[in-house]
Amino acid sequence: MAHLPLGQSNAVAHLAKLVLALSLASIASTGGAKTYSSDLGTLGPTYEIREPDLLEDITATLRKKEASGELARIQAEGRQRAIASIREPKPVQGLNRTMVARTRYWNPSISIEENIIDDKGRVVVPRGTVTNPLDHVQLKRSMLFFDARDPAQLAYAKQAIAKLGSGVTPILVGGAVYDLMDRWRVRLFFDQQGLLVKRFGIQQVPAWVYQEGKVMRIDEVIAPAAEKDGKS
């Protein structure tokens, strides 16, 4: 009889137990119903009722899939999907290419909802105090949001990065971010789940976000059409 390597055998057994647990969890138990029973005696020959061990059955099925290579294929496909989602995350929804340029401002000020006290119980910041983080920090970089799937935005972002260098933080809202980093040899970011887009209220891209005094300025700009023979 062929034996599986110890590591694979343990993995299959663990997976089989997990499947069994999920199967048992899906079986609804019944209770509270009144039942009646009585001894009717033996009406004929009796035989031992032997039900197949569910865990053994699941384990055997998984071993067959492992032996045939199907289990390895399923695992490989799962890894490939995970890698693909990292290299090209889901694009941010609800954004359009900028057709009409516009500017708006976002004030990051917040109101303190509860008193902030020190270790001696003294109030150092009273409730209701309005504070602006930009009173204490100076953002030196501008953020550029763009969709790398659009050739015009791609060319626009490439020119902006070449011109501003470390003065810009490029943030993708769509496209293969890792492939683009390999080509451009620059550090890029991706707005996962559109958190920054929602925070700044961006509706069109490309868009610039940068500090202007005590507020953040958001410029949704029009990207010139990309050259047909240009490479980005």
Lowest mean pLDDT among 19-23, 143-147, 195-199: 19-23
Predicted model pTM: 0.62
What pLDDT does residue 70 have? 73
Tokens found for residue 27: 């079986």
Look at residues 158, 205, 150, 163 and name the one whose alpha carbon lies nearest to residue 186.
Answer: 158
pLDDT score at 151: 95
Tell me whether the omega of the peptide bond preceding residue 151 falls within 30 degrees of 0, making it cis. Answer: no
Pairing of the two strands 168-174 and 142-147 = parallel
What sign does the dihedral 64-66-70-75 (CA atoms) show? positive
Supply the pLDDT for residue 210.
Answer: 97
Residue 171, pLDDT score: 97
State the pLDDT at residue 190. Answer: 96
What is the number of residues in the chain? 232
Give percent of the chain with pLDDT exceeding 70: 67
DSSP 17: H
Say which range, 29-33, 107-111, 172-176, has the weakest mean pLDDT: 29-33
Core vs surface per residue 68-97: b (16+ CB within 10 A) or e:
eeebeeeeeeeeeeeeeeeebbebbeebee
Per-residue pLDDT, 75: 66
Q: How confident is the model at residue 59 (pLDDT cuts 50, 70, 90)?
A: confident
Check whether 212 has a pLDDT greater than 60.
yes
Q: What is the pLDDT of residue 48?
A: 57
Q: To the nearest whole number, what is the mean pLDDT of the chain?
A: 79
Between β-strands 207-212 and 142-147, what pairing exists: parallel, antiparallel or unpaired?
antiparallel
pLDDT score recorded for residue 27: 47
Confidence band of 18 (pLDDT split at 50, 70, 90): low
Q: Quote the percentage of the chain above a pLDDT of 90.
A: 47
Q: Which residues pair with 228 in a beta bridge?
A: none
Cβ 108 vs Cβ 216: under 8 Å = yes
